[in-house]
Structure 1
Amino acid sequence: MPAVRIAKGIERGRPVTIVVDGQPVAAHEGETLAAALAAAGRTVLRHSPRAGTARGAFCLMGVCQECLVRVDGRLRQACRVGVADGQVVECRGSL
């Protein structure tokens, strides 16, 4: 999926860069990590430990745990974490 960003008519927070699986990803302050990853085309955030199937943001309100990733070394729900400049995110593999 190509990256998608709304650029016109929307006021955004200041641009920041997060590091996702070792790669820089552009984001904006005020976005959730799940929104920033989706806008960058990252829809698969992890794989289930049992079946190995792809998982990503589902409920986007912190109920389902499908968007679980490592943020600066801690397991967090991507839909409940705001982006911060220099944030390190690990999505690869199962958690």
Structure 2
Amino acid sequence: MFAQRPDIRPATVDVFVAGQPVRVPEGATAAAAVLLAGLPAIRETPVTGSPRLPYCMMGVCFDCLAEIDGIANRQSCTVAVRPGMRIEPQRGARPAWREGAVHEG
């Protein structure tokens, strides 16, 4: 029913998903880049190791958690891509903070 006009090409951004270059439309999310890359999973659950891919695409389910530019536990469906962004699979549990970061407690 809806189709993109063939004469209009959106601007693209080059990112890296699991170390592989992927060209995605400008304004897309990191989760969309993961899906375009065709990975079998972006994370594994900490308890059973079950593979997960982005599911709800709106920040509700947390199945899209990934390491983005070195920061773990990012909901990739809520992060817009930037040129050169690095999106890596998240394996098992990760701490909710980065080493060396300043935390208030």
Superposed pair shares fold, TM > 0.5? yes
Shift of 1:92: 5.0
Structure 2: which amino acid aligns with 1:87? M
Consecutive aligned runs of 4 or more in structure 1 exceeding 4 Å deviation? none
Shift of 1:25: 1.3
Where relative contact order (Cα < 8 A, 6+ residues apart) is larger, the structure is: 1
Pick closer, same or farther for the CA change 1:63–1:78 going to 2, 3 Å.
Answer: same
Aligned residues: 89
Unaligned runs of 5+ in 2: 95-105
Unaligned runs of 5+ in 1: 1-6
Percent same amino acid at aligned positions?
40
TM-score between the two structures when normalised by the length of structure 2? 0.72
TM-score between the two structures when normalised by the length of structure 1? 0.79
Is the Cα–Cα contact under 8 Å of residues 67 and 90 in structure 2 kept in the other structure?
no
Is the Cα–Cα contact under 8 Å of residues 18 and 83 in structure 1 kept in the other structure?
yes
